[in-house]
Structure 1
């Protein structure tokens, strides 16, 4: 009987860990495509071509979202571009990807301003070599109170930042504002 209980406990732990694990895989794929399209990062690179192409994507996304609530892959987060807002419901994910950073240090802020979902956050960076490294993981607790969490990312010059968030609750939402400076 003790062996059965122990085995059940191990299986339950493995299932819980798998259900809660966040990763940057979806954002890493988009970051890789970004490197392929725009080539290696250079200190004198202009963001204008990148912003023009992502503007078309954002406009298409906004049209789809306003006409049907669809959820399509990672979203663009502009460094020094203001807040992006949204809501993550019942065990769904949201991923943001930045352009290559011009600064060595970036301050990323996530403001949970409504909802009581327990939500996991993983922040990764990807260099032009295509290697994705996890930098930070954090779990917003299940509570109704708002919470602001700031992450200070160092050594990110010339790297794409990926933020993956996953709602770990079944019936609760996570309303957020996110920005990078």
Structure 2
């Protein structure tokens, strides 16, 4: 764990584009979206098993992502906030974050106020980003292979694969 000195609060509003806001409001409802939203790559959800994440570890990561609004500004929710959101004890939160840190997905950075008092940790998610970037080619290849297979099946027309094979054998 590294240390950094900073003074800030948890409650800031996240920046969004008007198009994203409108599309999301149409899908989820404006009153729901007014409470905020979080952008998470689908690959994080699809790669849960490859990242060796249990459901609670994934939930902790998603909560950290909810506080990560700007690339240059790392999230810093308190253990108490994470504890309340996930119905876990602060000690359990510490353990899960330590596990994520051991896997290289998260790095805890201790924050201190200018007077030397302890603030909530900052969490660097660079490890998670790098691991997702490393997994992306595998998932892209699997997606392209599946797309090619669907396209090949669609080109067959009304005959089934067995019928096509049988007619080829009969012709030979």
TM range (shorter): under 0.3
Q: Compare the two structures and name the one with the higher helix fraction.
A: 2
**Which structure is larger by alpha-carbon Rg, 1 or 2?**
2
Larger RCO of the pair (alpha carbons < 8 Å, separation 6+): 1
Q: Compare the two structures and name the one with the higher strand fraction.
A: 1
TM-score normalised by L of structure 2: 0.23
TM-score normalised by L of structure 1: 0.23
